[in-house]
Structure formats: structure tokens, C-alpha cells
């Protein structure tokens, strides 16, 4: 009997499919050429343990293959339901940072105990979680771009029909407008995902949480 690992077929991704969910095994196969098999398996195992242990036994999708070129203004309303098709933000002045080829670790749950904190408190809390679960040093270091977060939220909705954040709550992102205000995403109901640019001081807001995510770049 052969001891070889079973062959894993990776998802076929066409040009318009910027976000593709991956199984843990598919994530390992993508990472092996980059960091080696032992390190790839250890990384995925740590991420899965974090998802299960810290997010109330969450066992759903935590890895996404992200392709380059997705932007908030151009692509979000085509990907999934957005409030007023995001027409209102087309004139906003901010860095609509396009995605790049990457494997993204993302738990589609608000970080427990991460809500009702200032932005700095949330970032410090994420840093403590990263250290506790021995995640890579560049994981859980910020809130992620508004572009990436929107794509993950809408792609997850397309896959599961589950709206995150739930209960019309919000999440902070790392994107800022020209006036220094931070962009938030949420209030996701039947009208679609909403984007707000009014988080001016990064202070305490009672319906504003955060996600945990990390990015592994796949191309130079």
C-alpha cells in the first residue's frame, strides 16, 4: 500500500473570482512550495486550533485564496449585496488598496471580547491573542484593509448566506479617509453591507468589533 498523501485538487479560479474558500488541506498544498511541508502543516494546525479554541468551536472555512485586483469601488457591489450599490462612496478620497495574490487566514466571527473597545485596545488585544496562540508575527497586527474585508464578508455571504458581522454590528478596518477617519463595515441586513467613514477618533463604540486575520503573500 502506498504511503503517499492523497492528491488534492485545487480550486479552479477564473479571472472574476477574486475570493475562493479553501479547505485546510488545500491551504497546506498552496503553502508547501512557499514555506515547506512541515511548516505549512504546523501553520494551518495553529490557525485551526485558534479558530476552534477561541471562537466557540468554529470549524468552518478559515482560509481564502485571494487574487490580485479587487477594489472596493469597482468590484464590491458586483460581488455581493452592498447598500445603495456603494454609489455613495465613489467620490470618497481614500486609498482603495487593491488585493494582491495571497492566502488569507480569516475567521468570520467577531473576536470575542473585542467589541466595545477603542481601536488601540482592540489592536493590543489582537496582539495578545497572536502571541497566545503562537501565530506568525505579521498576523493579527491590524484590522485589514476595507477592500479585503469587504471581499471576505461578501464572499462568505455568497457561500453561506450568513451576514457577518451579525446583528447589524460593525467591524473596524485599517483604511482611513483623507480627514483621518477610519472606515468601518457592517449594518449588514437585507439592504446590503454598509461602509461608514465616520470613525473619527477610534474611540469606544458599543457596536464596533473586529476580525482576526493574517495574510501570506503568494507572489513577488
Cα separation, 69 vs 102, whole angstroms: 11
In a domain, 11, yes or no: no
pTM (2 d.p.): 0.91
162-200 b/e with 16+ CB inside 10 Å = b? ebbbeeebbbbbbbbbeeebbbbbbbbeeebbbbbbebe
In a domain, 2, yes or no: no
In a domain, 164, yes or no: yes
Question: Per 3-state DSSP, what percentage of the chain is helix, strand, and coil (rounded to 5)?
Answer: 35, 20, 45
Cα separation, 76 vs 185, whole angstroms: 12
pLDDT in tens, the chain (220 residues): 333 333 444 444 333 589 999 999 999 999 999 999 999 999 999 999 999 999 999 999 999 999 999 999 999 999 999 999 999 999 999 989 999 999 999 999 999 999 889 999 999 999 999 999 999 999 999 999 999 999 999 999 999 999 999 999 999 999 998 888 899 999 999 999 999 988 766 676 778 999 999 999 997 6
For residue 204, the model assigns a pLDDT of 63
In a domain, 36, yes or no: yes
In a domain, 150, yes or no: yes
Structural domains counted in the chain: 1
| C-alpha torsion 51→124→100→15, nearest 10 | 40
Q: Which domain holds residue 62?
A: 19-217
In a domain, 4, yes or no: no
In a domain, 12, yes or no: no
Question: Is 55 in a helix, a strand, or coil?
Answer: coil
In a domain, 1, yes or no: no
Amino acid at each position: 500500500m502506498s504511503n503517499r498523501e492523497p492528491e488534492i485538487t485545487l480550486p479552479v479560479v477564473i479571472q472574476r473570482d477574486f475570493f475562493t474558500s479553501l479547505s485546510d488541506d488545500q491551504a497546506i498544498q498552496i503553502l508547501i512550495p512557499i514555506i515547506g511541508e512541515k511548516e505549512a502543516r504546523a501553520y494551518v494546525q495553529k490557525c485551526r486550533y485558534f479558530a476552534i479554541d477561541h471562537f466557540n468551536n468554529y470549524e468552518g472555512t478559515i482560509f481564502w485564496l485571494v487574487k490580485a485586483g479587487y477594489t472596493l469601488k469597482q468590484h464590491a457591489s458586483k460581488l455581493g449585496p452592498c447598500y445603495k450599490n456603494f454609489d455613495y462612496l465613489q467620490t470618497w478620497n481614500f486609498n482603495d488598496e487593491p488585493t494582491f495574490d495571497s492566502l488569507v487566514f480569516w475567521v468570520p466571527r467577531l473576536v470575542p471580547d473585542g467589541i466595545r473597545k477603542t481601536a488601540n485596545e482592540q489592536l493590543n488585544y489582537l496582539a495578545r491573542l497572536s502571541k497566545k496562540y503562537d501565530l506568525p508575527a505579521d498576523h493579527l497586527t491590524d484590522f485589514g484593509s476595507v477592500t479585503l474585508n469587504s471581499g471576505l464578508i461578501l464572499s462568505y455571504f455568497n457561500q453561506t448566506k450568513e451576514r457577518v458581522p451579525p446583528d447589524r454590528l460593525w467591524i473596524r478596518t485599517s483604511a482611513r479617509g483623507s480627514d483621518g477617519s477610519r472606515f468601518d463595515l457592517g449594518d449588514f441586513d437585507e439592504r446590503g453591507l454598509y461602509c461608514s467613514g465616520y470613525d473619527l477618533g477610534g474611540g469606544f463604540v458599543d457596536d464596533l468589533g473586529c476580525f482576526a486575520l493574517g495574510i501570506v503573500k503568494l507572489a513577488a
